[in-house]
């Protein structure tokens, strides 16, 4: 359970999060939400901004949540306000402390820190008092209809609903029944507490929605203290009011529920009835109740992904992926393991922008943000994924030297490193063709190619095994073609990379690609489901070789493996003596070519 914030009071002075845009002068973000915030501050409606990120701890966060996190925490930081992390833990049957821990880790990984850590379960006493207030005002009643009967009474988009036969119970009877619900006297599902609004409303959300249901389930924070639990709309709106949230930002599917949000806030009126908050005040929580404003924005949807928690859970439980942090999963834990960086995700969110229009975005936006981020931030290393032996026959068997390479060709501040060079090298198998296709610019028998940073070589012979497969190339190095020598100016069509066979470190290299092979795996057309569109080539594991400096990487350190793509040392499995690298993204969008 949340700490009664004496400690939270100290948390409230948390500085702007790492990587947040507070204090930057070069780019003032412009979108309709930030304009609302600017106007509210300028008019004096609010002296300070308070936002919250309110995940339900029933699964792992995914890429879509990154947009909400960056918006909630980012706006608070930009305008000198505060953002709480609040767990919407009102449905204990589906919630787990594992998810709570992972969500906190994800928020911090993205570069943000919350002002105060809260749980909706902190407020259960206040919610209950608010419900009794609604009953006394004639704004709520205990209903005995079953779930199926409630649906039958609700009506349709074109037909009004019908009043429950229990709608006109007296205040006294409603209070008695609700208190007996609270005491655990009734079985699950046999009664609900419903708001009394308007069964003829054109907005179905206002047709006497349930605000409490009976559920005899142990809660991870409150144990068995409560056999009744508040419904989301009621708990969420009052949680915002309790915390003095000024701008409650949520996705567009909640737009139709905004009138219910406002109804709950206005009818309970916590700001005007501080006595309802006494249980929190007794526990050391600050008095900060206010009237929040809900504002909706479009959610983040990319093609080639599924974002449904239900479907992601099924992928995990059915063994179709290796867990929530499988690098092919769109969870924040998964893409982190894939090699996505917090700065790449924040760049993606900036590029996508904030709007009121839902759309399916091309995943190349996400991949492009990672390429741009790592192009600037990732040191370069040499690695060979599909190795083919190349022997420089004009060098002695014991030839060995150290060549100097820049760690980043575009940024001298990355410094230089020493790379061992010897008679026998590994090159990429696809860099040799015995019968080269038209336009091939790499190595062929009798042809020249430039070895990156080492000189120009000519292939003299391709050695084959008994099955006719090329297993080794015999080549000659031009000693006058080293970088800086006159011979290096000789025109050669191609340049290939390499690692010294004597010094290279064997590495497990996991070649990840998109998890689904079609742009809209959720389409469910032709009797197929998202499962039928799993990409069989979404992961291929090979044993390659990396230069010694790459093997020394720390877990989660990213590199550009020259000519191959961006790779990251796996955060779980990588060791210096047994390197494991995951491909984060290719150097170019290979899927665009497929289209």
What pLDDT was estimated at residue 397? 95
Give the residue numbers annotated as catalytic, written as ranges.
56, 299, 309
Note the pLDDT tens digit of each residue in 92-137: 998 999 999 999 999 999 999 999 999 999 999 999 999 999 999 9
494-to-61, 460, 545 alpha-carbon distances in Å:
44, 17, 22
- What is the secondary structure of 82-141 as a DSSP string? EEEEEE----GGG--HHHHHHHHHHHHHTT---S-EEEGGGGHHHHHHHHHHHHHTTSEE
The set of residues, in sequence order, having a beta carbon less than 8 Å from that of 310 and lying 6+ positions away, is none
> How far apart are alpha carbons 549 and 405 in whole angstroms?
11
CB count, 10 Å around CB of 169?
Answer: 18
107-to-55, 62, 260, 299 alpha-carbon distances in Å:
11, 11, 29, 18
Please, what is the Cα angle at 216 between 211 and 222, to 5 degrees? 85
Q: Are strands 383-384 and 416-422 parallel, antiparallel or unpaired?
A: unpaired
The answer to whether the beta carbons of residues 454 and 403 sit under 8 Å apart is yes
Q: Are strands 499-500 and 424-428 parallel, antiparallel or unpaired?
A: antiparallel
> Which residue would you say has higher pLDDT here, 593 or 272?
272
What pLDDT was estimated at residue 27? 67
Evaluate if residue 8 carries a pLDDT over 80. Answer: no
Evaluate if residue 171 carries a pLDDT over 70. Answer: yes
Q: Are strands 228-230 and 455-464 parallel, antiparallel or unpaired?
A: unpaired
What pLDDT was estimated at residue 18? 41
- What is the secondary structure of 287-336 as a DSSP string? ------EEEEEPPP-BTT----HHHHHHHHHTTSSSSTT-TTSSBHHHHH
Tell me what the pLDDT averaged over the chain comes to.
93
What pLDDT was estimated at residue 524? 81
Note the pLDDT tens digit of each residue in 547-582: 999 999 999 999 999 999 999 999 999 999 999 999
pLDDT band at 30 (very low <50, low <70, confident <90, very high): confident
3-state helix, strand, coil in the chain (%, to 5): 30, 25, 45
pLDDT band at 87 (very low <50, low <70, confident <90, very high): very high
557-to-145, 375, 574 alpha-carbon distances in Å:
58, 14, 10
Note the pLDDT tens digit of each residue in 416-429: 999 999 999 999 99
* Mean pLDDT within 28-33: 89
What pLDDT was estimated at residue 487? 86
pLDDT band at 592 (very low <50, low <70, confident <90, very high): low
Note the pLDDT tens digit of each residue in 347-376: 999 999 999 998 899 999 999 999 999 999
Q: 194-203, 414-423, 456-465, 478-487: which has the minimum mean pLDDT? A: 478-487
The predicted model scores a pTM of 0.91
């Amino acid at each position: 359970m949340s700490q009664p914030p004496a400690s939270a009071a100290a948390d409230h002075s948390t500085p702007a999060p790492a990587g947040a845009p507070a204090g930057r002068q070069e780019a003032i973000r412009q979108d309709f939400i930030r304009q609302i915030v600017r106007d509210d501050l300028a008019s004096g409606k609010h002296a300070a901004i308070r936002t919250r990120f309110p995940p339900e701890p029933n699964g792992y966060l995914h890429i879509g949540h990154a947009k909400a996190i960056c918006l909630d925490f980012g706006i608070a930081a930009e305008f000198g306000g505060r953002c709480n992390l609040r767990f919407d833990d009102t449905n204990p049957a589906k919630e787990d402390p594992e998810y709570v821990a992972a969500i906190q880790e994800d928020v911090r990984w993205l570069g943000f820190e919350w002002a105060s850590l809260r749980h909706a379960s902190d407020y259960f006493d206040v919610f209950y008092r608010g419900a009794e207030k609604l009953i006394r005002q004639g704004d709520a009643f205990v209903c005995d209809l079953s779930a199926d009967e409630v649906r039958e009474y609700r009506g349709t988009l074109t037909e009004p609903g019908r009043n429950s036969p229990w709608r006109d119970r007296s205040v006294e009877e409603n209070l008695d029944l609700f208190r007996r619900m609270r005491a655990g006297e009734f079985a699950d599902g046999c009664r609900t507490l419903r708001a009394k609004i308007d069964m003829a409303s054109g907005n179905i959300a206002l047709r006497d929605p349930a605000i409490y249901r009976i559920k005899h389930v142990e809660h991870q924070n409150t144990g068995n203290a409560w056999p009744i639990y508040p419904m989301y709309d009621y708990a969420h709106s009052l949680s915002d009011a309790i915390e003095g949230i000024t701008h409650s930002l949520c996705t567009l599917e909640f737009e139709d529920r905004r009138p219910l949000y406002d109804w709950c806030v206005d009818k309970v009126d916590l700001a005007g009835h501080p006595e309802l908050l006494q249980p929190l005040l007794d526990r050391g929580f600050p008095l900060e109740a206010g009237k929040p404003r809900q504002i909706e924005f479009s959610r983040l949807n990319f093609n080639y992904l599924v974002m449904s928690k239900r479907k992601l859970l099924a992928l995990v439980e059915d063994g179709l992926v290796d867990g929530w942090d499988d690098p092919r999963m769109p969870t924040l834990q998964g893409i982190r393991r894939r090699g996505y960086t917090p700065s790449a995700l924040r760049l993606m969110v900036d590029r996508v922008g904030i709007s009121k229009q839902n759309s399916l975005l091309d995943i190349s936006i996400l991949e492009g943000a990672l390429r741009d981020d790592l192009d600037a931030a990732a040191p370069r290393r040499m690695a060979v994924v599909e190795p083919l032996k190349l022997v420089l026959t004009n060098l002695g068997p014991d030839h060995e030297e150290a060549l100097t390479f820049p760690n980043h060709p575009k940024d001298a501040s990355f410094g230089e490193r020493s790379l061992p060079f010897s008679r026998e090298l590994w090159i990429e198998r696809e860099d040799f063709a015995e019968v080269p296709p038209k336009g091939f610019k790499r190595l062929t028998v009798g042809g020249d190619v430039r070895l990156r940073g080492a000189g120009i070589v000519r292939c003299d012979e391709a050695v084959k095994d008994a099955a006719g497969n090329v297993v080794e190339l015999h080549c000659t190095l031009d000693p006058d073609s080293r970088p800086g020598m006159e011979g290096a100016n000789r025109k050669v069509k191609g340049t290939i990379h390499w690692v010294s066979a004597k010094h290279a470190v064997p590495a497990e290299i996991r070649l990840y690609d998109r998890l689904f092979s079609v742009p809209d795996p959720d389409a469910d057309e032709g009797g197929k489901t998202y499962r039928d569109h799993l990409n069989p080539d979404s992961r291929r594991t090979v044993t390659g070789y990396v230069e010694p400096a790459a093997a020394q990487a720390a877990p989660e350190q990213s590199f550009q493996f020259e000519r191959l793509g961006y790779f990251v040392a796996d955060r779980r499995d990588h060791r210096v003596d047994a390197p494991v690298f995951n491909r984060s993204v290719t150097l170019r969008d290979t899927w665009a070519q497929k289209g």
